[in-house]
Chains A and B, each alone.
Chain A
Amino acid sequence: MAGATAAPSAPAAPRFEPDRMRRKLAGTLFYGACLAAIAILILALIALLLNVLVSGVPWLSMDFLTGVSSRRPENAGIWPALIGSIQLAIIVAAITFPLGIGAAVYLAEYAPDNRITRLMQTNIGNLAGVPSIIYGIFGLAIFVRLLGLGPVLFSGAATLSLVILPLVIIASIEALKAVPQAQREGAYALGASRWQMVKGSVLPAAAPGIMTGIILAMARAIGEAAPLVVVGAATLVLTTPQPFEGGFTVLPIQIFNWAQRPQEAFQGLAAATIIVVLILIFLLNLLALVVRARLSRHIQW
């Protein structure tokens, strides 16, 4: 009985440290640990960027950008991969734009609150956590084989679209939910139908968030390689890829091929390709900022 009454207070007692100096010291040490964690991350990031720049910059040149892959490192270039990546990003955007916004509008503006809706919402959250390589297997089975497209750029783009769709949908739903209810009621009060309300009132207000989500998802797609390896991106492509015929390659695949070779020259080529990818991703992030600023000019609440 005595044990039972003492038990609740027992855990609290030893945690109190009466010495004020020691308590303050513990706090300072912990703050130091937090700063050290950030310092480690910053150092790792700097080391990574420096390593890539030092290995890659000597290999960057116009010929590198416009050349094709070669067994001789000094002749090698990334043109097919660069064009492949740009085409891929455009096709992915063209697929995710209507499907992502459509799904988000349905779930945020139309869907009744029932089991099917909740299933669809939970499912999108789960899909966002499925490893991208699994999507590659899905793409291989559906686009390459079942639909008979073969291992072409479009199969890769369709597969990558499935990878990033959950991210686009989640970001778009958040943007739609942030639009004040009065915006909808205002449209209804003017006699708008539901679709007119969505098209004319809610979507423009949510556009900054939605567009940012789509552009950032494109940045993610440009760096993805795993699903494309499974879908069948080729290791050696010497011509500019076409969406529906011939082999294709993209920048991350090119990095993968060169990075697998131990010779320093190929490591340098991989680093140079990484610089190009990082620049493309940086430009897309910049674009997201600009688009966001332009689209939100007229929105204020």
Chain B
Amino acid sequence: MSEQTAGRIDLTRRRPWSERIIESLLFVAAALGVVTTIGIVVILAVQTLAFFQQVDPIAFLTGTVWSASIQPYQFGVLALVSGTLLVAAIAMLIGVPLGLLSAILLAEYASDRVRNTIKPVLETIAGIPTIVLGFFAINFLTPDVLKPIFGSAIGPFSALAGGIVVGILITPLIASISEDAMRAVPRGLREGAFAMGATRLEVIREVVLPAAISGIMASIILALSRAIGETMAVVLAVGTFPQFSFNPLESVQTMTAFIVQIVQGETSQGSIQFLSLFAVAMVLFVMTFALNLLSAWFVRRYRMTY
């Protein structure tokens, strides 16, 4: 008898306070991301402004000579930006064809047997710590592959070696996002083209690639952002010689490698060198953030297509 009354629920009761506390806690966890973003922007902005008290922003953004440790000090960030873009460009030259061809193979050709070989290869490469690729660049790629090809023209550190290993590490990223985009192309489109007598290559070129182009672009832009922000592979492979040069056989310095060099050395924390780290980080943040937004815009476009 009494069991029945105990089980009855008062439907007029408001949501219990425990439910509201839990919801607030979950909200705090979700809001942490926004706090982190604001924190990053504020820290970089404050220190960059402090840096601009001592260095003219125009000279910083347009100068091509970077000399942070040898007097006379010069902070022309283009020397670091050019090094970064050179490495990223080489990486894209390697990663885009390798990634796209792998994606096409996976999405359009592969039997289950081939898939089961390729997927683990790509996943393994994606899981390798980037410092390992840097080690591979200086311990094998440069002495055993590039030296025999280029001879004395290439030094122990080069933009080429760094670009190649970064290219390898962005390949799985391009492959997996592009494959998803190609798989999202409806079967009917392909079958229509086959019915009109197109060969498989013609279907890929005329139907699949144009239909998946937004997703493919998104993957390429994301990979570029990744290549620009890559640190450990590049620090080991390209060296620490900041110069405004586009010769892939020479040593350069990327923005990320400069940051590592400064925090590794015994730079005192209020010094101009230490402040320059934040200005460089700000440039890096703005570049990668803009690319990420662009990539997200492409993704939204390709979601709307179907």
Q: A99-B32, A131-B256 are in contact. Are A274 and B199 (CB under 8 A)?
A: no
Whether B22 and A195, one on each chain, are in contact in the complex, defined by CB atoms closer than 8 angstroms, is yes
In the complex, A224 Cα to B232 Cα: how many Å?
9
Give the distance in Å from the alpha carbon of A255 to the alpha carbon of B232 in the complex. 11
The answer for the CA separation of A220 and B130 in the assembled complex, in Å, is 10
Residues of A near B260 (CB, < 8 A) are 133, 226, 229-230
Which residue of the partner chain, among B26, B28, B37, contacts A123 with CB atoms under 8 Å?
B37
Nearest chain B CB to A60 CB, angstrom units? 16
| A5-55 interface (Cβ within 8 A of B) | 15, 23-24, 26-27, 30-31, 33-38, 40-42, 44-45, 47-48, 51-52, 55
- Residue A57 CB within 8 A of the other chain: no
Smallest beta-carbon distance A125→chain B, Å: 6
Q: Which residues of chain A have C-beta atoms less than 8 A from B179's C-beta?
A: none
Q: Output the least CB separation between B115 and chain A (Å).
A: 11
State the CA gap A107–B23 with chains docked (Å): 11
Are A130 and B288 in touch, CB under 8 angstroms? yes
Q: Are A23 and B37 in contact (CB under 8 A)?
A: no
> Which listed residue (A27, A102, A195) contacts B199, Cβ 8 A?
A27
A162 touches B36 (CB 8 A): yes
Taking the closest CB of chain B, its distance from the CB of A166, in whole angstroms, is: 7
Contacts of B256 in A (CB 8 A): 131, 133, 226
Whether the pair A31, B140 counts as a contact (CB closer than 8 A) is: no
In the complex the two chains form, is B231's CB within 8 Å of A226's CB?
yes
Q: Can you name the residue of chain A whose Cβ is closest to the Cβ of B263?
A: A230
Contacts of B304 in A (CB 8 A): none
- B139 at interface, CB cutoff 8 A: yes
Q: Is the CB of B296 within 8 A of A256?
A: no
A270 in contact (CB, < 8 A): yes
Which residues of A lie under 8 Å from residue B138 when comparing CB positions?
259
Which of B63-71, B120-128, B181-189 contacts the other chain? B120-128
Docked complex Cα distance between A270 and B104 (Å): 37
Query: Is A130 a contact partner of B285 (Cβ separation < 8 A)?
Result: yes
Contact A102:B26 (CB < 8 A) given known A134-B281, A134-B284: yes
Hey, which bits of chain A sit against chain B, CB under 8 A? 15, 23-24, 26-27, 30-31, 33-38, 40-42, 44-45, 47-48, 51-52, 55, 98-100, 102-103, 105-107, 110-111, 119-120, 122-127, 129-138, 140-142, 162, 165-166, 169, 191, 193-195, 219-220, 222-226, 229-230, 232, 235, 252, 255-256, 259-260, 262, 267, 270-271, 274, 277-278, 281, 285
Contacts of B284 in A (CB 8 A): 131, 133-134
Judge whether A285 and B127 touch: CB under 8 Å: yes
Bound CA span A132–B226, Å? 10
Query: Across the two chains, which residue of chain A brings its CB closest to B145?
Result: A47
Give which listed residue, B18, B235, B289, contacts A126 with CB less than 8 A: B289
A111 touches B30 (CB 8 A): yes
Shortest Cβ-Cβ A-B pairs, 6 listed = A131-B229, A223-B129, A102-B29, A37-B101, A106-B26, A129-B292
Q: Smallest CB-CB separation from B289: which chain A residue?
A: A126
The docked-state distance in angstroms from the alpha carbon of A79 to that of B222 is: 37
11 other contacts beyond A165-B32, A256-B232, A277-B129, with CB at 8 A cut-off?
A: A37-B98, A37-B102, A38-B105, A52-B135, A125-B292, A126-B292, A131-B231, A133-B281, A137-B43, A259-B134, A259-B139
Provide 26 A-B residue pairs closer than 8 Å at the C-beta atoms, listed in order of the A residue. Answer: A23-B199, A35-B105, A37-B98, A37-B102, A41-B121, A41-B168, A47-B140, A52-B132, A103-B33, A106-B27, A106-B30, A110-B27, A120-B34, A122-B296, A127-B37, A129-B292, A130-B229, A131-B229, A131-B284, A131-B285, A132-B231, A134-B281, A193-B15, A223-B131, A271-B139, A274-B132
